[in-house]
Amino acid sequence: MTASNAEQAQGGVVQKDSSENSISRRALLAGTAALAVGASATLAKAASHEGHGDHAHGHAHDHAANGGNQALVRAAGDCRIAGEICQAHCQKMLATGDASLAACSASVSDMMASCSSLMQLAASDSKHLPGMAKICSQILEDCKAECEKHGEHEECKACAKACEGCLKECKKVMA
């Protein structure tokens, strides 16, 4: 392995040429983790409703209620994946001595942490989801604004776009 290949492998995003990037292992793992979180929360919620087929036990269920959160779970997951790719790019630039993306890296880190929590709360239809959506919206706004400053970088541009998509979904559930 050449030194250049080793640097690319450590940076997370392997560039085939200047216009085409493949997904990093970290981003792939984050996406897989997001899917697992959503699936496990859905299964846990379904398991807690086993045996309720006749609904004769005195309370009604709105099984479609969580359906509205699926778009938010997906948007937060997409945002997190775009953030992983952006973060890897920022780290790569920082490793070369270019500190121009330091603030972007920090805002993306905050965004990824908040989107992870948002996905979990949305998937389980938590009573705390509206409050988390409000907090996450502020973090998404900050990340989007920081990434838009670096629109010449495709990774930053994609992250800003993902933040915008997640913001739209957050607004639908905010308190």
Structural domains of the chain sorted by starting position, each given as residue range(s) with its CATH number in brackets: 25-42+68-173 (1.20.1270.360)
**142 band by pLDDT with thresholds 50, 70 and 90:** very high
pLDDT of residue 36 exceeding 50 = yes
**43 band by pLDDT with thresholds 50, 70 and 90:** very low
Close Cβ partners of 28 (under 8 Å, ≥ 6 residues apart):
none
Residue 81 has a CB neighbour count (10 Å cut-off) of: 24
Distance CA(52)–CA(166), nearest Å, equals: 34
Of the chain, the percentage scoring pLDDT greater than 90 comes to 59
How far the first Cα of the chain sits from its last, in Å, is 53
Contact (CB, 8 A) for 166 and 140: yes
Distance CA(130)–CA(161), nearest Å, equals: 22
**68 band by pLDDT with thresholds 50, 70 and 90:** confident
Of 105, 89, 124, 84, residue with least CA distance to 18: 89
**26 band by pLDDT with thresholds 50, 70 and 90:** low
- The model's pTM: 0.65
Share the mean pLDDT of the chain. Answer: 78
Distance CA(151)–CA(75), nearest Å, equals: 21
